Amino acid sequence: MSLGEKAKTVLSSIRKVYSIKYAALNVAVAIAYYIILVELVRYQNYGILVFGVPKLLIYALVVSSSVMFTIGVYYTARRLGSISRASASIFGTMATVFTGVVVGCGCSAPILFGIGSLFFSAVELSVAESYISGHGALIVSVLLAINAVLIIYYFGRISAEDRV
């Protein structure tokens, strides 16, 4: 399938999925994800919202993760007999939570050091903190790229299954 055809397929799937009901769900999930992310950042920064990466990346990640969730719900609603369908939502949720931890990892990093201290020394954890604080934007960008690829993949699958 050429790139143009694939794009058309994905677009038709998007139109199919995004009825008013699912669009509303998407917005609600995006808001919920944003709140989760913000609270994770605040928890790590004494209640202060300090993003270590450009806000645009945060918004893009929240939107893409909410699209993944919507796809998951759409799958579930259409195919009740299958055990799979909540699939897409899982990575989206993981990406959001992980981004909350990464973005909030600044001067202090209580989640990283709190959980990590069960397995690693402070010296080892400081390496992780150092990497995350220096490469937060890169990490979020990678998560965003994975989200984007998965969204295209799942919309493609919706289209393929419809042909069946």
Partner 1 sequence: MEATGAALGIDEHSAADSAAQNAYSAPPENIKHDNANAHSTAIYHATAESKEIRKMAYRNNVLSIIVVVLIAAVLVQAVMLNSLSNSLKKSNLLISSIEATLQKDSSLSSSASASNTPSYSYNINGTLFVPPTYMSNYPSITQQQPFGKRLTNINQPLNSSELSVINNASDAYFEIAGNMFLNGSLNNYVGAPNVSVNPFILNGKPSVIYLGSITCIFCGENRWAMALALGRFGRFSSLYEGYSSFGDGNLPTLYWRPVSYTNSTVNIGNFYNSSYINFLSIEDTSPITGGFELQPLSVIQNEVNATADLPYIDAINYIIELNQFAGTPYTIWGNYQVGGADAVDFGNTTPSSAPFPITNMTHAQVLAQLANPKDQFAWTEYAGADIYIALTCGSINNTAQICSLPAIQGIEKKIGV
Residue 26: CB minimum distance to partner 1, A:
20
d(CA 101, CA 111): 7
For residues 10 and 95, which CB has a smaller minimum distance to partner 1 in the complex? 95
Choice between 24 and 114, CB closer to partner 1: 114
Structure tokens at 90: 């899982």
Instruction: Label residue 139 left, alpha or beta by phi (over 0 means left) and psi (-120 to 50 means alpha).
Output: alpha
How far apart, in Å, are the Cα atoms of 92 and each of 14, 19, 43, 157? 17, 21, 21, 17
The DSSP string of 59-101 is HHHHHHHHHHHHHHHHHHHH-TT-S-TTHHHHHHHHHHHHHHH
Nearest approach, Cβ of residue 125 and partner 1 (Å):
8
Q: Whole-number minimum distance, CB 126 to partner 1, in Å?
A: 4
Binding-site ranges for partner 1 (CB under 8 A)? 42, 45-50, 52, 78-79, 81-87, 90-91, 93-94, 97, 106-111, 113-115, 117-118, 121-123, 125-127, 129-130, 133-134, 136, 160-164
Closest approach of Cβ 104 to partner 1, in Å?
11
State which residue, 2 or 121, has the beta carbon closest to partner 1.
121
How far is Cα of residue 94 from the mean position of the Cα atoms in its chain?
6
Nearer to partner 1, 22 or 51 (CB): 51
